[in-house]
Structures are given as structure tokens and as C-alpha cells.
Amino acid sequence: MQLEVLQRKENPLLKRVEVTFKATHKAEPTPTRDALRAFLAKELKATKDIVVIDYQASTFGRYETVGEAKVYKTKEEALAVERKHILVRNKLIEPEVKEKEAAPKPEKPAPAPRAEKAEKPAAPTPKAETPKAEAKPEAKPEKGAPRDEKKPAAKEDKKPAEKKEEKKEEKKAEKKPEGKKKEAK
């Protein structure tokens, strides 16, 4: 891997040197943040713990990584000025654990209440299983019975022509009582 410093700027107010760099890495994967910090430390004649990489980006299809870094005079100044997430990325400090996440951990290791809960439902489960077993056989005949009622055997045996004749006869039967009423008037 080759490292080239593109721009170097002194910042006396924050007691640091701001650097823009380009790393060329042929036939190698994209370098890690730690590897880049080590190469920058060698190039700028500093120690690795005072080099902070702000960002690094690789372009698809190229063997180049471009980024910005800051080199402080002491580690304490870096810790005082830099944002916490950048310090965590550069592994200068450990990530903070939130209190909300830490609180549930004591609750989880308590296996004793779980064992008690498992014992209590053991007695009611046979009671719960017996009604379920009774309900299932009752449900099966109920489902079978409506199917038999839906399919009368007489209509299935008849041909479509016979069905039409029956419908005509039913219509005539409906009309006849009306006709008799008219005659009676």
C-alpha cells in the first residue's frame, strides 16, 4: 500500500495538523482504519494513538481510498476536541453502554421464576388438553353433516333437459292459481 498526503494544514488553535490523503492499494482489499492510522503515523512521524481518521472512502472499481485525518500533539487534546463517535471508531475510547440496555441484564439471569412458571401451568395443561380433545371430535361431524345436506341425490341424477322441464312445470303451477282467481271474479 502506498500513502500520499495531498494536503497538509496546521491548526494552532486546536493544536493539530489536518491532512487529506490518498492510499493506493493494488491487489489488496480496502485498508482498515487501523492500518491507515499506522501508515499515516509513519508518514507524518507521529504515534498511532494521536492520529484520528475523520473519514475514509473507497471508489468502486478503483484501488484508491481517499480520506481526511487529524494529527494531535497529545492524546489528551484529541480526547478533549474530537467527537465521541469518531474516537470510538478510531478505538481511542471504548463505546459507552446505555443504562437502559444495562438494566434488563440482571432480570434475564434469574432462571428460578421461569422454573416456577413452568411447574404451575403443568397442572392446568391436562385440563386444557381434555376440553380441546372433546371439542375436536364434535367439530368434525358438524362439518361433515352440512356437506351431506347441501348435495341432494335426486337433483344430481337428473339430466339438464329434465331440470329445465321441472322449472317450466313449477312456473306453470305458479301461474295457474292466479288464473283461477281471475276466473272467479
Q: What is the CATH number of the domain that holds 43?
A: 3.30.70.330
More confident residue, 25 or 99: 25
* 10 Cβ contact partners less than 8 Å away, ≥ 6 residues apart: 17, 18
Give the mean pLDDT of 55-76: 94
Identity of the residue numbered 55: Y
Q: Select, from the ranges 61-65, 108-112, 134-138, the one with the highest average predicted confidence (pLDDT).
A: 61-65
Residue with cell 492499494: 25
Where among 68, 94, 120 does a domain terminate? 94
Distance linking the first and last C-alpha atoms of the chain: 115
Do 13 and 89 fall within a single domain?
A: yes
In a domain, 114, yes or no: no
In a domain, 84, yes or no: yes
Q: Select, from the ranges 115-124, 127-136, 164-173, the one with the highest average predicted confidence (pLDDT).
A: 164-173
Cα distances from 41 to residues 13, 48, 52, 115, 138, in angstroms, run 21, 5, 10, 57, 80
Domain carrying residue 170: 159-184
Cβ atoms 3, 43 nearer than 8 A: yes
In a domain, 63, yes or no: yes
pLDDT band at 172 (very low <50, low <70, confident <90, very high): confident
